[in-house]
Amino acid sequence: MRDTVYKICTKKEWADALDAGVYEGSVDDKRDGFIHFSTQKQIKRVLAKYFSGQADLLLLAIDVSLLNPLKLKYEGRVGADKYPHLYEALSPSAVQAQYPVRLSDTNEHIIDY
């Protein structure tokens, strides 16, 4: 069962969301019309592909049961791994944990669980 999805964002984006009381998504999310999430097994792949060399990140763990099930869709190409997408803003109350993501000396992401 899919209980948790994950969002990778900058610390500043998350701080701004907490101040606003809602997370509207990154620039890419806003462009695409949904908030990009990952499953646990997709996290490392997403970090490597879309956040290469980027520091000052957070990994947010989101409780799926606190999201509108009509607005959360698992999408992707046929036969490919499906990615969770949220078609509305994210309430900070759905975030159950946040983990710092940093870069190692070899530029690999390390998640501080």
What does the pLDDT look like over 44-80, one tens digit per residue? 999 999 999 999 999 999 999 999 999 999 998 877 7
pLDDT tens by residue, 85-111: 999 999 999 999 999 999 999 999 999
User: Per this entry, what is the length of the chain?
Assistant: 113
Amino acid present at 70: L
Decide if 103 contacts 109 (C-beta within 8 A): yes
Tell me which residue range forms the domain holding 15. Answer: 4-111
CATH code (residue 82)? 3.20.170.20
**Burial class, 107, CB count within 10 angstroms (exposed 0-12 / middle 13-18 / buried 19+):** exposed
Residue 79 has a pLDDT of 73
Residue 113 has a pLDDT of 85
The 10 Å CB-count burial string (b at 16+, else e) for 59-70 is: bbbbebeebeee
Does the structure show a pLDDT above 80 at 1?
A: no
Q: Which residues pair with 7 in a beta bridge?
A: 60
- Looking at the structure of the chain, the number of domains it has is 1
Please state the separation of Cα 79 from the chain's center in Å: 22
Decide: helix, strand or coil at residue 83: strand
Q: For residue 36, report the phi and psi dihedrals to the nearest 5 degrees.
A: -75, 120
Mean pLDDT over each residue of the chain, to the nearest integer:
94
Residue 87 has a pLDDT of 98
Residue 2 has a pLDDT of 55
Side-by-side strand order, sheet with 57-63? 4-10, 57-63, 95-103, 109-111
